[in-house]
Structure 1
Amino acid sequence: MTATAAGTATDLDLGALAGYLRSALPGGVAGELTASLIGGGRSNPTYRLSDGERAWVLRRPPYGHVLPSAHDMVREYTVIDALGSTAVPVPRAVHLCEDTAVLGACFYLMELVDGVPVGTVEQAGELTSDERRRLGFDFADTLAALHGIDPDAVGLAGFGRSDGYLERQLRRWGQQWEASRTVDRPEVAVLLDKLRRALPDTRFPGIVHGDVKLDNVLVSPSDRGRIISVLDWEMATLGDTLADVGIMLGFWDVPGEEPNPITRGLATLDGFPSRAELLDRYASARGIDLPDVDWYVVFADLKLAVILEGIARRHANGDTVGDGFDGVADMAGPLLTRALDLAAASSVPELRR
């Protein structure tokens, strides 16, 4: 299962991995390692790994061009390890390898959760209307539970700085755009200017997931309205928790409006709560009054457009593995247009200007 392209590893070196895990894991490995790519993700390659007796999930950064601070496996491992004793359902952290000589990059192993994915229209369509409704509310409750955790209490006091988080985010994603763009899109500069002028104060600091969508959860096979695992913590940090709310809403499509190109109208399926119901449930679960969240939704669309542009660039360079990349290059434009439309209709004056 080892392959190379232009001198860059594009798959797992199972021989090197087995040699490493024999001494790194309690009990070593029982037999020959096998691995298969887990589909669905467009960012970090994710594999099902087995030694014939046990199975794990292996996560590693993308191959090829990777932007600074992006796809941080240490960060991802640290947060799931810290949250393992909380009410937020995460896979059990198994092992972190920071030795890049093994696979060419840092990677980690986590528990293989026996769960059902619901992140596409087709997958969510397999649920009943009642299951979709309960899933939507459990999604809001799970996010509220994450945001209610005291970072100090779970050993994440130094995981990031909530102070100045939004300013740093705008600067970071502006830099990411310049480093990864494949075409000129003046909308990015316009949106960044609007967001800087309308920058809100951080009222609710806490642990931020950074990529809140149904594609990053697994539900119980016996109760498909209940989340049993939250995945994909690569962008987690300490910051303004309402940034996660903006991402959640950005992926929560509204009937009659242009859908997110990733979710393709997923949340418009019968049974799912509306955006307003989702917000009410989240606010009630946290016991807070939410301010206007337009800023956060506009920012979420901009951020996703930048991420997709980076993925499109890696795909064009031949540095992606698996399927699901066709059309990614065309997704950034509609997201930027949607963000501009929301800003123009916002109740936040600085976003409208």
Structure 2
Amino acid sequence: MSEDSPPGLDLARLRTHLDAERPGLVTGELRARVIEGGRSNLTYVVEDGTHRWVVRRPPLGHVLPTAHDMRREHTVISALGPTPVPVPATLLLCTDESVLGAPFYVMDHVEGTPYRQRDQLVPLGADRTRRIAESMVDTLAELHAVDHRAVGLAEFGRPDGFLERQLRRWGKQLDASRSRDLPGVDRLRERLAARLPPSPPPTVVHGDYRLDNLLVAGDDTITAVLDWEMSTVGDPLTDIALLIAYTEGEALGDDLSSVASAPGFPPVADLVARYTATSGRDTSAMGWYLGFAFFKLAVILEGIYYRFNQGKTVGEGFDRIGASVAPLVARGNAVLEED
């Protein structure tokens, strides 16, 4: 690897590839840094002294089947470019693993702040925090209003039987990352399988929608929706439920999120009501969707914990991830009992 290259990103090889595929794009010596805070795919800011770009690639090891698909991310972001959904412009997709050791893509760098912690929102004040949270919900409804066929995503997913396949997929990924006893997780999976609700008409689904996957500008405008690695076409209620599960994250450990405790951040009921009104969708089955959201989050974090124990993850804070899994499983079971 070239000197000063961060793990997983050989700058000399990247420069050679960019010069060949996009002549004239790079005008100076490349520098790069890992964007901290990501828990799955690796994200880098790359600059040449004049321009900035973002490079995304899979983690360095233990890549789960169907996860970390760079082609999918590139496809959906490119398709959403002409729509009202704010996404970065894509510049290049590389599936030749000889360049960086894994597929990757390059997109424009977009200015904005990803808010993940209460302390980031408190200085903004209650009114601005409320506006940001409401814009977050409205942007999700905007995504779900996109005609996926019209933007070239008709074959992007298989909406028939979506919930059953999703539950089976995350169950398999749990088994692939299982390295310790997780009380209640099999019971949660079985209860979800026994109570599958009918899905509404399919839409583009982000798959990991939350405030810190959005960039917010100084005027509280959402400038970009990021991290599309789990996107597909399917049941839109899985997105709003996962957002609510993240919103409850402060009670389950700061490794998820603590934004919901910031003054002005709307309560869960208000977020659901705003989505219901803006999207026009029936959210009466939200209990099941929340149970599934907590199950999915538990599996995601368990996979990250597994990679951390293997020494295959770049970044900070991974040593605490494992402790967040059990509370998620417990909350998922509790939600189903309340429903």
Instruction: Determine whether 1:140 maps to 2:137.
Output: yes
Counterpart in the other structure of 1:296: 289
1:270–1:329 CA distance, 2 compared to 1 (3 A):
same
1:26–1:294 CA distance, 2 compared to 1 (3 A):
farther
1:93–1:125 CA distance, 2 compared to 1 (3 A):
same
Counterpart in the other structure of 2:228: 233
Instruction: Determine whether 1:249 maps to 2:248.
Output: no
Q: CA RMSD in A?
A: 1.7
Q: 1:265-284, aligned counterparts within 5 Å?
A: 265-284=258-277
Instruction: Give the Cα–Cα distance (whole angstroms) in 1 for the partners of residues 97 and 300 of structure 2.
Output: 24
Task: Give the superposition deviation at 1:174.
Answer: 0.7
Task: Give the superposition deviation at 1:292.
Answer: 2.3
| 1:208-262 per-position Cα deviation (integer Å, ceiling 9, x unaligned) | 00001111001112x13x21111100000001010101101101229xx834543
Contact 1:42 1:324 in 2 (8 A): no
Contact 1:301 1:335 in 2 (8 A): yes
Instruction: Determine whether 1:203 maps to 2:200.
Output: yes
Instruction: Determine whether 1:168 maps to 2:161.
Output: no
Partner SS for 2:251: coil
Task: Report the AA paired with residue 248 of structure 2.
Answer: D
Contact 2:116 2:257 in 1 (8 A): no
Contact 1:182 1:313 in 2 (8 A): yes
Task: Give the superposition deviation at 1:77.
Answer: 0.7
1:85–1:26 CA distance, 2 compared to 1 (3 A):
farther
1:43–1:336 CA distance, 2 compared to 1 (3 A):
same
Instruction: Give the Cα–Cα distance (whole angstroms) in 2 for the partners of residues 273 and 233 of structure 1.
Output: 25
Counterpart in the other structure of 2:178: 181
Counterpart in the other structure of 1:350: none
Partner SS for 1:163: coil
Counterpart in the other structure of 1:341: 334
**Unaligned residue ranges in structure 1 (runs of 5+):** 4-8, 347-353
Instruction: Determine whether 1:122 maps to 2:119.
Output: yes
Contact 1:253 1:260 in 2 (8 A): no
Task: Select which of 95, 120, 127 maps to 2:92.
Answer: 95
Task: Give the superposition deviation at 1:186.
Answer: 4.0
Contact 2:52 2:109 in 1 (8 A): yes
Contact 1:204 1:242 in 2 (8 A): no
**Unaligned residue ranges in structure 2 (runs of 5+):** none
Instruction: Give the Cα–Cα distance (whole angstroms) in 2 for the partners of residues 65 and 105 of structure 1.
Output: 12
Contact 1:259 1:265 in 2 (8 A): no
| 1:136-189 per-position Cα deviation (integer Å, ceiling 9, x unaligned) | 111111000101111011110010011111010111111101101120224121
Instruction: Give the Cα–Cα distance (whole angstroms) in 2 for the partners of residues 265 and 328 of structure 1.
Output: 15
Instruction: Give the Cα–Cα distance (whole angstroms) in 2 for the partners of residues 166 and 246 of structure 1.
Output: 13
Instruction: Give the Cα–Cα distance (whole angstroms) in 1 for the partners of residues 56 and 39 of structure 2.
Output: 13
Partner SS for 1:67: coil
Instruction: Give the Cα–Cα distance (whole angstroms) in 2 for the partners of residues 71 and 31 of structure 1.
Output: 30
Instruction: Give the Cα–Cα distance (whole angstroms) in 1 for the partners of residues 116 and 224 of structure 2.
Output: 13
Partner SS for 2:184: helix
Instruction: Give the Cα–Cα distance (whole angstroms) in 1 for the partners of residues 310 and 282 of structure 2.
Output: 46
Task: Give the superposition deviation at 1:29.
Answer: 2.0
Partner SS for 1:131: helix
Instruction: Give the Cα–Cα distance (whole angstroms) in 2 for the partners of residues 53 and 98 of structure 1.
Output: 27
Identity of aligned residues (%): 49
Task: Report the AA paired with residue 265 of structure 2.
Answer: F
Q: 1:15-164, aligned counterparts within 5 Å?
A: 15-164=12-161
Q: TM-score, normalised by structure 1?
A: 0.92
Which shows bigger deviation, 120-129 or 277-286? 120-129
